[in-house]
């Protein structure tokens, strides 16, 4: 309990400072697992009840403004909670170099793969394959980041060495509605 109160205080401070290494570090001290060079934007809300380790933000991942990460979902004071089992709690993992667009909601248990992109305002209900572009409500696969115009072959080769085999994951086909 004391640890959760500490997490609440540190997270409140973290949420009030601009994106910076300090902000990311404070989030890491507030119960999240935060890797290197993670960018956390203003207005991000994490519904983990200030518990330890329910959210992992891997190296170089980016969380845009007003994203809501929901690893722990419970209707609080609603009588519904007393009658039916509607609560869910499962960790969320945001993979290396992935980018969550503004206002997206990530639901319990979701893993976002390496280098994936989540569109603005998406509601992500299931896992996102590496390098998928997922958008909409519920989020569907719209494409593969690796089909976008190449900006730098040198950067591609460098990051392949850093990130590893996931760059060679099979191509992702868009889903129809
Ligand atoms: C999802 C996203 C990455 C797609 O970019 P893109 O590959 O260039 O896609 P396009 O703009 O060419 O759009 C492709 C299709 O997806 C749709 N689409 C794009 N973004 C969408 C979104 N967020 N939700 C639902 N549909 C979306 C487009 O309407 C288009 O549909 P159509 O083919 O029926 O016309 C981008 O639109 C997005 O949402 N980026 C996040 C931006 C953001 O939040 N930035 C925060 C600042 S850090």
- Condensed to tens digits (0 to 9), the pLDDT of residues 104-146 reads 999 999 999 999 999 999 999 999 999 999 999 999 999 999 9
Q: Average of pLDDT values for 28-41?
A: 97
Model confidence at 5, in pLDDT bands (50, 70, 90)? very high
For residues 159 and 8, what is the distance between their CA atoms, to the nearest angstrom? 35
- Cα 35–37–42 angle (5° rounding)? 95
**pLDDT surpassing 90 at residue 177:** no
pLDDT at 10: 96
pLDDT at 92: 98
Q: How many angstroms is it from 119 CA to the middle of ligand 1?
A: 6
pLDDT at 91: 98
pLDDT at 7: 96
DSSP state for residue 94 in the 8-state scheme: E
Render pLDDT for 41-94 as a digit per residue (tens, 0 to 9): 999 999 999 999 999 999 999 999 999 999 999 999 999 999 999 999 999 999
Q: Which of 71, 126, 124 is nearest to 101 (CA)?
A: 124
Q: How many angstroms is it from 135 CA to the middle of ligand 1?
A: 7
Nearest protein CA to atom 42 of ligand 1, as residue: 101
Pocket of ligand 1 (CB under 6 A): 64, 101-102, 117, 119-122, 133, 135-136, 142-143
Which ligand 1 atom is at minimum distance from the Cα of 103? 44
pLDDT at 143: 97
pLDDT at 164: 87
Q: How many angstroms is it from 143 CA to the middle of ligand 1?
A: 10
CATH says 2-74+82-168 is which class?
mainly beta
Q: Which of 83, 81, 78, 44 is nearest to 64 (CA)?
A: 44
Which residues are known to be catalytic?
A: 74
pLDDT at 64: 98
pLDDT at 165: 84
Nearest protein CA to atom 14 of ligand 1, as residue: 142
CB atoms within 10 A of CB 95: 25
**pLDDT surpassing 90 at residue 176:** no
Q: How many angstroms is it from 155 CA to the middle of ligand 1?
A: 24
Which ligand 1 atom is at minimum distance from the Cα of 142? 16
pLDDT at 1: 86
């Amino acid at each position: 309990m004391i640890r959760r109160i500490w997490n609440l205080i540190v997270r409140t401070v973290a949420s009030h400072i601009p994106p910076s290494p300090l902000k990311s570090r404070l989030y890491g001290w507030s119960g999240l697992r935060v890797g290197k060079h993670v960018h956390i934007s203003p207005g991000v809300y994490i519904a983990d009840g200030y518990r330890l380790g329910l959210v992992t933000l891997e190296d170089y991942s980016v969380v845009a403004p007003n994203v809501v990460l929901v690893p722990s979902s419970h209707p609080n004071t609603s009588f519904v909670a007393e009658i039916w089992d509607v609560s869910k709690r499962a960790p969320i993992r945001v993979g290396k170099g992935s980018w969550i667009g503004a206002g997206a909601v990530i639901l319990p248990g979701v893993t976002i793969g390496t280098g994936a992109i989540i569109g603005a305002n998406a509601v992500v209900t299931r896992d996102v394959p590496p390098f998928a572009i997922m958008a909409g409500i519920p989020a569907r696969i719209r494409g593969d980041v690796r089909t976008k115009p190449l900006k730098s072959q040198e950067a591609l080769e460098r990051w392949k060495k850093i990130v590893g085999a996931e760059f060679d994951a099979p191509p992702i086909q868009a889903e129809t509605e």
